[in-house]
A = this chain, B = another copy of it.
Amino acid sequence: MTTGSPARAALIALDWGTSSLRAYRLDADGRTLDTRHLPWGIMRLPQPLQDGAATAALSGFELAFEQACGDWLRAEPSLPVIACGMVGSAQGWKEAAYLDVPVDLKRIGTLLTVVERKGTPVHIVPGLIQRHGLPNVMRGEETQVFGVLFDRADAGADSVLIGLPGTHSKWVNARRGRVTHFDTFMTGEVYAALRGHTILGRTMADAASADMAAFERGLKVAGAPAGRAGVLSTIFSTRALGLTGELAPESQADYLSGLLIGHEVASLADMLRQQGEQPRIVLCGEPALCQRYIQALRHYGLGTPEQAQDATERGLWHLAVSAGLVASPSTAIA
């Protein structure tokens, strides 16, 4: 996209994670005017310049920030800036405290952490922490949840389960604008580790396209008698089915993906059954991955979920409104 668009902006929103940085320039109605995607995640920031006395040394965070939105701010110096994700972690630009779950989501906007700097300050969104049972944390997903809930008329709905599939899937229970509970599944990262660093990857071959029949086959295992031994056991069938000639090398990766997502969603369905709940489910994530979760949710009797779009930028926008960084009566939270 071109920069320096003549349209006036109202907010700069940053989705700043471990491995990448997305910058959004939003107008007074929260519509996206420009987007930039940079490789400057907090674990791989640009190196500060060391090329002479005249240049004041800028930190990696400042350099990445300059590339993300320096020109936008020079064109409109009074724009407020909001950021979410690992930029607020202990390894980030400035640590933003976790808020304890259960939490009223509207509180998030009132507790932004400010990075004071020479130019425009940056407002960082806090993460969420759950201390009952096994502890659990999120950073960045709280903003997506905010986007999903407050972009609809039903922020106050009785019970919504928001699924955020990814490297670490989060399943977030919300009730009347409060986050009441969430679970994390390391499904995406476990898949990559099994494929790249165990014997299961050795018999896999790259496929020209996804084998959704193999995925479906894996998906069903967790709910079948053979799945009773659990995921540490069923994953070995990826190899054994190959040795018996029942699963082609090109199909093994999708079968494994089905196994893992199947075990995740089967556990989820089981927990919901025990709680006697059948909440409305909203999925939010990369479309091809969401498609896999939709298949899994249907198979395990959880119906067909809704899908949310652009949850991060919508969440950052609504948080900025909620924090008073921008005024937008038409979409503000009551």
Chain A interface residues toward B at CB < 8 A: 129, 131, 133-137, 168, 183-187, 189-190, 192-194, 196-200, 221, 225-226, 228-237, 239-241, 243-244, 246, 260, 263-264, 267-268, 270-271, 274
Q: Looking at the complex, which one of B196, B221, B244, B264 makes contact with A135 (CB distance below 8 Å)?
A: B244
Residues of B within 8 A of A192 (CB): 197
Q: Looking at the complex, which one of B131, B134, B187 makes contact with A234 (CB distance below 8 Å)?
A: B134
Residues of B within 8 A of A194 (CB): 190, 193
Residues of B within 8 A of A270 (CB): 228
Can you list 19 pairs linking A and B with CB atoms under 8 Å apart? A133-B226, A134-B241, A135-B240, A136-B236, A137-B240, A183-B229, A185-B229, A185-B232, A185-B236, A186-B233, A186-B235, A186-B236, A190-B194, A190-B232, A229-B267, A230-B230, A230-B267, A233-B264, A233-B267
CB distance from A202 to the nearest CB of B (A): 10
Residues of B within 8 A of A240 (CB): 134-137, 184
Enumerate the 4 nearest inter-chain pairs by beta-carbon distance, A residue then B residue, closest first: A134-B237, A133-B226, A230-B267, A135-B240
Check if A196 sits within 8 Å of B198, measured CB to CB.
Answer: no
- Using CB atoms, name the residue of chain B closest to A225: B133
Give the CA-CA distance A228 to B266 in the complex, in Å. Answer: 11
Give the CA-CA distance A198 to B267 in the complex, in Å. Answer: 22
Residues of B within 8 A of A229 (CB): 183, 185, 267-268, 271
